Amino acid sequence: MRSTSAVPELPASTEVLIVGAGPAGLTLAASLRQLGVDFVLIDRNTSVQPGSKAAAVQPRTLEYLERIGVSDTLVATGVRSPGFSLHDRERTLLRATFAELDTPFPYVSLVSQQTTEEHLLRRLLELGGTVHRDHRFIGFSTDFPGVSVTVAGPDGALQAISARYLVGCDGVRSAVRTAAGIGFPGQAHEQLFTIADVRLSAAGQELVAHDTTFFLSGAGMLLFSPLAGEQYRVVSPAPPGQTEPTPSDVQRLLTERGPQATVTEVIRASTYRVQERVAEQFRNGPVLLVGDAAHTHSPAGAQGMNTGIQDAGNLAWKLHAVLTGAAGDELLDSYHAERHPVAAEMVAFTALFAKMASVRDPVAARLRNGVLAAAASAPGATDWIATKLSELDVSYANGPACGLRVGDRVPPTVVPGRDLRWTLAVPETEDLPQQRRNLGVRHVPDLDEALLVRPDGYLFACGKPTELLDHLPTS
Ligand SMILES: Cc1cc2nc3c(=O)[nH]c(=O)nc-3n(C[C@H](O)[C@H](O)[C@H](O)COP(=O)(O)OP(=O)(O)OC[C@H]3O[C@@H](n4cnc5c(N)ncnc54)[C@H](O)[C@@H]3O)c2cc1C
């Protein structure tokens, strides 16, 4: 989908300059547009990039995307995956179902990253926003309290644009991160992975269930997942030096390691290497990092794009609150404080999972599979996995869990949220305060006290309704 036609010239200044119109940048832009924040979004590419990459949109991501009007159409396009399985090619070792999760989206939506980006872009355009394509971030200098950014336009001519905040959504090789001098410590692995989207002649029993399945056999790990359009995703370690896997390479992987199915067409296939890195700071003064610019890890577990979209949801309302004067600039420090630990934990979790899945020694592999099968029957184990993968476990609370704590996610099944307004949920025994422009007010059954819910769906405060309104960081 191109969006270069009728795009206005870059203005001389903006409140927020967003670099990168991938899933993170598009989510941030659509959110800011919905909130009425002035921004400019640039991308060096001339269109949404073709390809699949992130194929799984997790329940927590769908909850946020519902607030910006994207989930319904996205879910309608994708395939619903009801669960996640580990299999040893003879039996299911472990199955975690999403069906019991406390969310309006008790499934993973399997849809290509290109489609997700197209839906985000469509929503941004509907809201009256735009992407300045063919514009490349070159560098910036401090222009207190903001920045002066140099951008190269389609003809290569340089232009300066001043911005109060600069947000790098420019991916793993982020030029914004480099220009801001923010370190990106971590490691790059030598192991090469094949990723292929294919069509099959016939699917085995396991495929009918539409689970995303890790096959863990002595021959090696293989991830197998249905996609929209009767396609399937295959991911498996590749031999060193392989660059473009052929159809017979993909078939061999399935035959050796996966379900007994015949590949009839390879739609796209490539290889990639995993890096595990988290930026030292997600904020450095007027510069903020979102998405892969801030963190990258193994695609095992399908979390990268999802984490980036939720970064954007965390940042959008904070930028709005600060730029409207409802909160001080220090609110933006909480973006790093909340999202850095989430990313660090995600990197550790996916690294552990990838290490466990790639055990090749036959004795160790048998032992691993036995442990996994035993773990599956431990009380709460598969529920824990489903909650973790769906990212519904993300919380910014510090204290021990006992009911809802400030910083916990408030399930939309308890307090629905279909836009980016704050929500005041009031016990049915109390009177409702008046609605305000940026605040939805509603009665909610079975509440002991009122809950003030942030635009990204986390608990901001609880107590008496009138007291909560005094703390509302919005106009
Ligand atoms: C093979 C593979 C499979 C994956 N599978 C999954 C999965 O199943 N689930 C999941 O959640 N994640 C998955 N991921 C990760 C996911 O693709 C990324 O996390 C996601 O693309 C990050 O989004 P982003 O918007 O942060 O960055 P990107 O998608 O990288 O977008 C960055 C944008 O910035 C633009 N840009 C870069 N530099 C500049 C510049 N100097 N000036 C202007 N524009 C610039 C680029 O053109 C691009 O449009 C996978 C990744 C790979 C490689």
**DSSP-assigned letters across all residues of 60-126:** HHHHHHHHTT-HHHHHHHSEEE-EEEEE-SSSEEEEEESTTSSSS--SEEE--HHHHHHHHHHHHHH
Q: What is the DSSP letter of 331?
A: G
User: From ligand 1's centre to the CA of 22, what distance in Å?
Assistant: 6
Determine the pLDDT at residue 308: 98
Distance CA 120, CA 28 (A): 10
User: From ligand 1's centre to the CA of 198, what distance in Å?
Assistant: 22
395-475 architecture in CATH?
3-Layer(aba) Sandwich (3.40)
Sequence-distant (≥ 6) Cβ neighbours of residue 283 within 8 angstroms: 289, 332, 333, 335, 336
Distance CA 29, CA 39 (A): 7
CB 83 less than 6 A from any atom of ligand 1: no
Determine the pLDDT at residue 57: 96
Beta strands across the sheet bearing 92-97: 92-97, 83-87, 212-217, 220-227, 231-238, 186-200, 263-278, 295-296
**DSSP-assigned letters across all residues of 109-166:** EE--HHHHHHHHHHHHHHTT---EET-EEEEEEEETTEEEEEEE-TTS-EEEEEEEEE
Query: Which residue's alpha carbon is at the smallest distance from atom 44 of ligand 1?
Result: 43
Over the stretch 138-181, which tens digit does the pLDDT of each residue have? Answer: 999 999 999 999 999 999 999 999 999 999 999 999 999 999 99
Over the stretch 349-374, which tens digit does the pLDDT of each residue have? Answer: 988 888 888 888 889 999 999 999 99
Residues 18, 142: contact at Cβ < 8 Å? no
CB 59 less than 6 A from any atom of ligand 1: no
Residues 199, 264: contact at Cβ < 8 Å? yes
Distance CA 77, CA 347 (A): 29
Determine the pLDDT at residue 6: 58
- Ligand 1 atom nearest to CA at 45: 47
Mean pLDDT over each residue of the chain, to the nearest integer: 92
Residues 220, 92: contact at Cβ < 8 Å? no
Question: In the chain, what percentage of residues exceed pLDDT 70?
Answer: 96
CB 175 less than 6 A from any atom of ligand 1: yes
Determine the pLDDT at residue 109: 96
User: Has residue 286 got a pLDDT over 90?
Assistant: yes
User: From ligand 1's centre to the CA of 291, what distance in Å?
Assistant: 8
CB 303 less than 6 A from any atom of ligand 1: yes
Q: Average pLDDT of 40-51?
A: 93
How many Cα atoms sit within 13 Å of 147 on the Cβ side? 23
CB 279 less than 6 A from any atom of ligand 1: no
What are the Cα distances from residue 56, in Å, to 11, 107, 116, 191, 196? 36, 10, 10, 23, 15
Q: Which two tokens stand for residue 380?
A: 């709460």
Q: What is the DSSP letter of 434?
A: P
Over the stretch 64-106, which tens digit does the pLDDT of each residue have? Answer: 999 999 999 999 999 999 999 999 988 999 999 999 999 999 9
Determine the pLDDT at residue 205: 42
Query: Which residue's alpha carbon is at the smallest distance from atom 20 of ligand 1?
Result: 305
Tell me the Ramachandran region of residue 90: left when phi exceeds 0, alpha when psi lies from -120 to 50, beta otherwise. Answer: alpha
User: From ligand 1's centre to the CA of 308, what distance in Å?
Assistant: 9
User: Has residue 285 got a pLDDT over 70?
Assistant: yes
Cis previous bond, 145, omega within 30: yes
CB 306 less than 6 A from any atom of ligand 1: yes
User: From ligand 1's centre to the CA of 306, what distance in Å?
Assistant: 11
Domain ranges within the chain, ordered by starting residue: 13-55+112-184+279-337, 79-111+188-275+359-393, 395-475
Cα 389 from chain centroid (whole Å) = 11
User: Has residue 37 got a pLDDT over 90?
Assistant: yes
User: From ligand 1's centre to the CA of 53, what distance in Å?
Assistant: 8
User: Has residue 390 got a pLDDT over 60?
Assistant: yes
CB 299 less than 6 A from any atom of ligand 1: yes
Q: Per-residue confidence at 3, pLDDT binned at 50, 70, 90?
A: very low
User: Has residue 230 got a pLDDT over 60?
Assistant: yes
Tracing tokens 């300059």 back to the chain, one arrives at 17
CB 18 less than 6 A from any atom of ligand 1: no
Q: Average pLDDT of 241-269?
A: 90
User: Has residue 244 got a pLDDT over 50?
Assistant: yes
Determine the pLDDT at residue 249: 92
User: Has residue 327 got a pLDDT over 90?
Assistant: yes
Query: Which residue's alpha carbon is at the smallest distance from atom 33 of ligand 1?
Result: 20
Q: What is the CATH number of domain 79-111+188-275+359-393?
A: 3.30.9.10
CB 166 less than 6 A from any atom of ligand 1: no
Q: Which of 113, 133, 272 to mutate to test the pocket of ligand 1 (most atoms within 8 A of CB)?
A: 113
User: Has residue 422 got a pLDDT over 70?
Assistant: yes
Determine the pLDDT at residue 401: 60
Question: What SS3 state is found at 342?
Answer: helix
Q: Is 2.160.10.10 the CATH number for 13-55+112-184+279-337?
A: no
Handedness of CA 303, 309, 311, 313 (dihedral sign): negative
CB 441 less than 6 A from any atom of ligand 1: no
Q: Average pLDDT of 233-252?
A: 88
Determine the pLDDT at residue 52: 76
How many Cα atoms sit within 13 Å of 253 on the Cβ side? 29
Q: Average pLDDT of 24-28?
A: 98
CB 19 less than 6 A from any atom of ligand 1: yes
- Ligand 1 atom nearest to CA at 174: 38
Most confidently modeled range among 199-208, 224-233, 251-260, 338-347: 338-347
Q: Average pLDDT of 219-243?
A: 88
Find, among 243, 242, 244, 225, the residue nearest to 234 by Cα. 225
Find, among 33, 17, 39, 23, the residue nearest to 68 by Cα. 33
Residues 426, 447: contact at Cβ < 8 Å? yes
Determine the pLDDT at residue 4: 43
Q: What is the DSSP letter of 412?
A: T
Query: Which residue's alpha carbon is at the smallest distance from atom 6 of ligand 1?
Result: 54
Query: What residue type is assigned to position 151 of the chain?
Result: V
